[in-house]
Amino acid sequence: MANLWMEGDRYQIKGVPDRVKMNQLNNLLHDSLISTEHVEKCAILDRKEKEQRAGSPGFVLQKDQILSLQEAFKKCSMIRKEGICFEDKNYKCTRADKNSIYAKQLQSNDGMIITQTATLLIVATYTERMFPSVCVEAMEKLTDYFREKGR
């Protein structure tokens, strides 16, 4: 779907507009994660630009939070030992490797999952009333989908 518009006195042509891409990614997040009812909040983040590309309603990550999540993958052994802090909550790491980080909150059974592809970070949280295994499965399927697409 190409886009043609006028900017000043020049025509501009571009592929799918960013707002459409974001809507598509938001729909994908909803269909693959939120609809399971075992994901509380989630977001798709651009690793290079350190920007949020899509997110569940009200879940907006700042650049420093994105950088912190990205850095966690470079420090897997430290994350496994010391845990990770996200949104002012401390999490104990239950798995950390080059592709995924699974963590459980220290004060409750809430948790988070972070996965990465070549260009994206995907983050999801779940609450103690949700099944972590369903959240993990949905996250890994979505991540595999993006890997297959080369993203």
Domain ranges of the chain: 38-148
What tens digit of pLDDT does each residue of 125-137 get?
999 999 999 999 9
Judge whether 97 and 113 are in contact, CB under 8 Å. no
- What contacts 148, CB < 8 A, 6 or more positions away? none
Q: Rounded distance, CA 90 to CA 23, Å?
A: 31
Beta strands 10-14 and 41-46 are unpaired
Q: Rounded distance, CA 54 to CA 46, Å?
A: 9
Per-residue pLDDT at 1: 46
Say whether 15 sits in a helix, a strand or coil: coil
- What contacts 81, CB < 8 A, 6 or more positions away? none
Q: Which fold has domain 38-148?
A: Beta-Lactamase (3.30.450)
Which regions in the chain score pLDDT beneath 50? 1
